Amino acid sequence: GENVEQHPSTLSVQEGDSAVIKCTYSDSASNYFPWYKQELGKGPQLIIDIRSNVGEKKDQRIAVTLNKTAKHFSLHITETQPEDSAVYFCAASVPGTYKYIFGTGTRLKVLA
Amino acid sequence: KAGVTQTPRYLIKTRGQQVTLSCSPISGHRSVSWYQQTPGQGLQFLFEYFSETQRNKGNFPGRFSGRQFSNSRSEMNVSTLELGDSALYLCASSESNTGELFFGEGSRLTVL
């Protein structure tokens, strides 16, 4: 069945350094890949997304890359700040349905 | 615009009981999805409704059910609760089937 693997499960970086989170999906027909940030006690919030017809997308300090051949996509956060500390989830759309498969999450800690 | 509202935010039940959770989507959003979030498992898709019709269902037992009303508000019900049902239940609304999911803050269910 559909599956999304996410690594690492935890990531600690020094403030100002970059952070990279990687996901691999199983269904080659998936065409939409959002990334969500979940702060403590809150619901996940979309931070960036990418569609299968694009290889890279950037929004200020956040970027996402997609490699359709390898079925792999990554989140890149540059110049990390303490407020970037949260749990990040990747997801992939399931073709022909209205559901998403989520990765198991990455807890990012930005150390001041 | 008000965000997605979920009630109750916290609840404690005992095994064998049943529970009903409520979700009010963002005004104008007709799609409502439900996800179960547990530590280490990420977000697992439960079901999605659009205009009072269930369009997709995840791999959960029949004890998990839902419905959507004409005003797009949605409820989910879990009958004969088990310890493993303890989780954060997240509701998300969307304007379109491949658009951004807007999550509520969730209903945290504890089953004793």
pLDDT in tens, A28-62: 999 999 999 999 999 999 999 999 888 999 999 99
Share of chain A above pLDDT 90, in %: 88
| Cβ distance of B50 and A46 shorter than 8 Å | no
| Cβ distance of A34 and B100 shorter than 8 Å | yes
CA distance A50 to B64: 32
Tokens of A107: 């807890």
Parallel, antiparallel or unpaired: strands A10-14 and A106-111: parallel
**SS3 state at A27:** coil
3-state helix, strand, coil in chain A (%, to 5): 5, 55, 40
Chain B residues within 8 A of A101 when measuring between CB atoms: 45
* Residues 35-64 of chain B whose Cβ lies under 8 A from any Cβ of chain A: 35, 40-45, 48, 50, 55-56, 58
Amino acid at A81: Q
CA distance A90 to A74: 9
Q: pLDDT grade, residue A97 (50/70/90)?
A: confident
Tokens of B93: 């609304």
**pLDDT at residue B97, as a whole number:** 55
Tell how far CA A76 is from the center of its chain: 8
Burial class of residue B3 (count of CB atoms within 10 Å of its CB; 0-12, 13-18, 19+) = middle
**pLDDT at residue B39, as a whole number:** 86
CA distance A13 to A35: 19
- Residue holding tokens 């059910």? B65
User: How many other β-carbons are positioned within 10 Å of the β-carbon of residue A55?
Assistant: 12
- Say if CB B96 and CB A98 are below 8 A apart: no
